[in-house]
Every structure is written in C-alpha cells, then in structure tokens.
Structure 1
Amino acid sequence: MGRGRQKAKHTKVARELKYFSPDTNYSALERELTGSQSSEPDYSKWIDDDDENDDVYEPSDEQKRA
C-alpha cells in the first residue's frame, strides 16, 4: 500500500475514533468514583515479605574472569 493510501486510511480510522461516543454506564462510573471497597481486589496475598529465599544475582564464571 502506498504512503498516500496508508495515510488516508489512518486518518479515516482516527476520525472514526475521535467522533465515536459509546453509551455511558453512569451507575458503574459512580461506583468507581465513590470508591466502593467491595469491588477493589485484595493485593495483599501477592506481597512477599520473606526475603530469605529470594534469588540473588551471581555472575557466571566467564563474567568473574573478565
């Protein structure tokens, strides 16, 4: 595809995205903005407080000789 045709296609897509307005779910937006705690995921189960078994970077034998 030539540059002119490619640019025209990108311009068309950009224009469609710019003027596209989907239906807004105001109740979901309100829940998100009010910060209801029930829908928030619990990240505490992924926190690793145990540093004893963490892998420590050790250079290979070739890197040690360099």
Structure 2
Amino acid sequence: MGRGRQKAKATKQAREMKYFTPNTDYTALQRELAASKSSASSRYPEEPAEPDYSAYEDKYADQFDDEDEETRRIG
C-alpha cells in the first residue's frame, strides 16, 4: 500500500474515532460507581493506624546541626 493510501486510511480511522459517539447507559454507570464505593469501604473498614512517632520527634535533633538546610539552598 502506498503512502498516500496509508495516510488516507489513517486519517479516516482517526476521524471515525474522533466523532464516534456511543450511546451512554447512565444507569449502568451509576450502578458501577455505586458498587465501587461500597466495595472500597468494605475492603478497608478502617484506615490503618499510623504509629505514634511523637516520642522520637526531638530525640535526635541535638545531634545534627542546621548545615543540611544551608547546603540545600541553591542560588
């Protein structure tokens, strides 16, 4: 197939895809979205508890100076 015919075919296919408007079934979409919300909540009934790191917050702060902040600044 020559380049002209190939390009014409690609253009035709692109045009068909661009202007293709399928019938949307909004009730099926609503059922699908409603099912995904309920199944997500049943999979994760509670968010996992994050450990409390407040005891370690300032424990090591005295060992390190603020020189890291100075080296990060550029400009």
Name the TM-score, length of structure 2 as normaliser: 0.45
Match of 2:22, as an amino acid? P
Number of residue pairs matched by the alignment: 38
Structure with greater helix share of residues: 2
Matches within 5 A, 1:12-31: 12-31=12-31
User: Aligned Cα RMSD in Å?
Assistant: 1.8
Question: Any runs of at least 4 consecutive aligned residues in structure 1 with deviations exceeding 3 A, and if so which?
Answer: none
> How far is the alpha carbon of 1:15 from its aligned partner?
0.5
Match of 2:24, as an amino acid? T
User: Percent same amino acid among aligned pairs?
Assistant: 71
CA distance in 2: counterparts of 1:6 and 1:15, whole angstroms: 14
3-state DSSP class of the match of 1:35?
helix
Aligned to 1:8: 8
Aligned to 1:53: none
Name the TM-score, length of structure 1 as normaliser: 0.50
